[in-house]
Each structure stands twice: as structure tokens, then as C-alpha cells.
Amino acid sequence: MYNLIVFASGNGSTLQAIIDNIENGRLSANIQLVVSDNSSAFALERAKMHNIPTYIIKSKSFEKRDTELSEVLSHYSINLIVLAGYLKMIGPKLIEKYSIINTHPSLLPKYGGKGMHGMHVHQAVVDAGEQYSGVTVHFVNQEYDKGSIIRQTRVVVEPSDTAETLSAKVQSAEKVQLIDVIDDFINGKIS
């Protein structure tokens, strides 16, 4: 079985898409653990509803968080870590040991970096009058949203789009693309 760990900070809709695709047989995988830095994240409730163990990060500092997570994750057999709406920087101990991917709601390198997440990204795209936005899945490295791009899906930004309507389009594309990317990892098409 292909073992996943999912990190999430918020609602967990992307986590839910992964869970649904495992349960319907689309992904031959197992989520061993859902990790969050936010004890009130609904992602944790989603995990519990599907009997997936959860872990809430205790350390606040970057270095201590890296050490804490390295220790916690050492007890698992991990094929891939998926950041699904996780907003903290990943430390070098994890990056050196595991394959880690992130999904980002823009066509990187545009609209990436610290503080560029969720509605901040969509509002910036609309304000700039972009014709296209989309979603990027990339490997995680030591800089926000700078890792090697695995795949991108483009969506059209209509003149009538708001940050909210654009968000809905991007989230829909994001879930399809991420499931395809995870499936490619499982089947050895990406390593």
C-alpha cells in the first residue's frame, strides 16, 4: 500500500478529495496521519470522521517544529507527504528525508511566496487583470512555492470573476490535478 501523510491548516476540502478518491478506489493509498498546526482546523474533524489518526503540532518555532515533526514522522513508513492547504514552512529535516509536494492556487511562479495563499492569491490575480490563473503542484524545498513544478492546470479568468468565483474554479481544478499527480506517484510515473 502507498502511504501518505497529509498536512493541512484549515478546512480540509483538499484532504477530503484525497479521502474520497481512496475510498472510491481511484487511489490505491492509505492516509496514515493528518498533521495540522491549527487545533481548530476542520481538516482534523474530517480525518476523525474517516478514522484517520491526527497530530497537532506543539512547537511554534521553525527549528523546534522541524525537530518535532521529524521525530513524530519517524514512526511511520511514508511514501509521500502532501501539503493540502498547510501554511507553515517545512524544515530541512523533513525535506531531506521525504518526498513532499504542495498544491498552490496559482500558476507559479506568479502569485507565490510567503503570505500568498487562498483568497490573497485570487484577489491579487483579479486585481492584476490576468487572463488566466490555475493551480500548481510542486515539490517542496526551503523557499515558499519555489520547488520544481510537477504539473499545472490553467483556468480562464473571466472579466466578471471575483476572488470568490475564481477560487471556486481553481479549487475544482486543484482537486482533479492533485489526485492525478498522487496517482502518478503511486504508479511510479513521478519519483
Summarised one tens digit per residue, pLDDT across range 28-81 is: 999 999 999 999 999 999 999 999 999 999 999 999 999 999 999 999 999 999
Bridge partner list, 128: none
Summarised one tens digit per residue, pLDDT across range 105-154 is: 999 999 999 889 999 999 999 999 999 999 999 999 999 999 999 999 99
Q: What distance in Å separates the CA atoms of residue 12 and residue 31, rounded to the nearest whole number?
A: 14
What is the predicted pLDDT for the residue at 170?
A: 97
Q: Where are the domains of the chain?
A: 2-107+135-154+173-186
* DSSP letter for each residue of 131-170: SEEEEEEEE--SSTT-SPEEEEEEEE--TT--HHHHHHHH
* DSSP letter for each residue of 18-58: HHHHHHTTSS-EEEEEEEES-TT-HHHHHHHHTT--EEE--
Q: What distance in Å separates the CA atoms of residue 114 and residue 89, rounded to the nearest whole number?
A: 9
Contact 34, 63 (CB under 8 A): no
pTM: 0.95
Radius of gyration of the chain (CA): 16
Q: Which CATH architecture has domain 2-107+135-154+173-186?
A: 3-Layer(aba) Sandwich (3.40)
Query: What pLDDT band is residue 158 in, cutting at 50, 70 and 90?
Result: very high
Contact 100, 140 (CB under 8 A): yes
Instruction: Mark whether 104 is an active-site residue.
Output: yes
Q: Measured between alpha carbons, how far is residue 68 from residues 13, 55, 56, 71 in Å?
A: 26, 11, 11, 5
What is the predicted pLDDT for the residue at 191?
A: 82
No. of helices (H) and no. of strands (E), the chain: 6, 7
Does residue 160 register a pLDDT over 90? yes
CB atoms closer than 10 angstroms to residue 54: 18
Contact 36, 7 (CB under 8 A): yes
Catalytic residue among 50, 75, 104, 120: 104
Bridge partner list, 29: 2
